[in-house]
Amino acid sequence: MRVTFACPLHGYLYYGGAQVQADKTAEELANLGVEVEFLTPRTSTLGDLVHCFGPYSQYDLVMKMCQSRGIPVVCSTIFYIEPKTRQFLSYWLKARSPWGTHKTVRRMWQHSSLLLPNSEAEAEQVRFVYGVSREQIHVVPNGVEARFAEGNPALFRDKFGIREPFVLNIGRVEDRKNQHRLIQALKGTGLKLVLIGKEWHQEYSALCRREADGNVLFLPPLAHDDPLLASAYAACRVFALPSLVETPGIVALEAGIAGARVITTPIGGGREYFGDHALYVNPYSVSDIRAKVLQAWNSAGDGEALQQHILRHFTWRRVAEKTLEVYERVLQRK
């Protein structure tokens, strides 16, 4: 079987969860005997099936070509919006308006063979906003590499001279990731906070730096295959991801498999992944973020239980197996 992966042209400029999802799924599919190639401007032939990642109208011409040639298309939707009524209504109206990107994505998704959201929560939003039937949706979870269970905490501590226990947050420094409220929440607690990520939005980064005191350390992003990344997860006492929305946050899975105490947002699919093994915060409440971080910090924690839960259900191997089942189903139907 030969499959073409389509990822947004701009995606690898700020390598994040969607890019990790595509890369790791491709690697594990290859281990299962699937030939995977990524669509580039020089691609001249498409595979037996095309797999698109994310809600991007730039796939429109490719999908039209697939329709004309009888090539099935599946889409990992990677779509979830903040549950603010006004914003949600704005998205909802745009999705049904006769103009704009949302109309294009709606048409593309309605003509796809199957849509692959990462959670039931995401599936419900895709159905509601884009008018897709439930029969057209098959949930395929996000995954994590088992190697993150074996990080050496000394590497990270020695590299950056960190001796005390600390709270860790990893992700682009931006409004959606909510680092500003996390910094506010930990101010005055005496807890060390380490933020790892690209400062993509300069105004928001400046806001965070103005709020930060001497207990906050800003570090640049680490390559996903850098041993220092696995080491950072292993070294932290608490991993805090109080984002406004996550689907569900690959970094939280990586921290969980490393044995950290995880705090994350309930907005998105987090509860479907972590169940009772994590604490959930109101991302708009500084006081709640503070309370949950302190609760996790002072708890005994059960990192092994979360680690085993993730290893059973959410490795990239399991994701690839579920994805391959989708491909075979779609191609058989064709």
Q: Could you please report the per-residue DSSP string of 132-192?
A: --GGGB------B-GGGGG--HHHHHHHHT--S-EEEEES-SSGGGTHHHHHHHHTTT--E
Compute the distance between CA of residue 7 and CA of residue 62 in angstroms, rounded to an integer: 12
Q: Spelled out in words, what is the top-level CATH class assigned to the domain 2-143+315-333?
A: alpha beta
Length of the chain: 334
Residue 81: pLDDT above 80?
no
Residues of the chain with CATH 3.40.50.2000: 2-143+315-333, 146-313
Residue 87: pLDDT above 50?
yes
pLDDT at 92: 55
> Token match 């680490």: residue?
222
| Cα three-residue angle 197-203-204, rounded to 5 degrees | 50
Compute the distance between CA of residue 334 and CA of residue 328 in angstroms, rounded to an integer: 10
Q: Name the nearest CA neighbour of 168 among 238, 222, 220.
A: 238
Q: Name the nearest CA neighbour of 51 among 113, 106, 136.
A: 113
Q: Could you please report the per-residue DSSP string of 84-140?
A: -HHHHHHHHHHHHSSSSHHHHHHHHHHTSSEE--SSHHHHHHHHHHH---GGGB---
pLDDT tens across 276-298, in order? 999 999 999 999 999 999 999 99
Q: By mean pLDDT, which of 16-25, 79-88, 127-136, 169-178 is the weakest?
A: 79-88
pLDDT tens across 89-103, in order? 555 555 555 556 788
pLDDT tens across 215-259, in order? 999 999 999 999 999 999 999 999 999 999 998 889 999 999 999
Half-sphere exposure of 104 (CA within 13 A, CB side): 13
Structure tokens at 107: 């048409």
| CATH 1.10.1510.10 correct for 146-313 | no
Average pLDDT score, the chain:
92
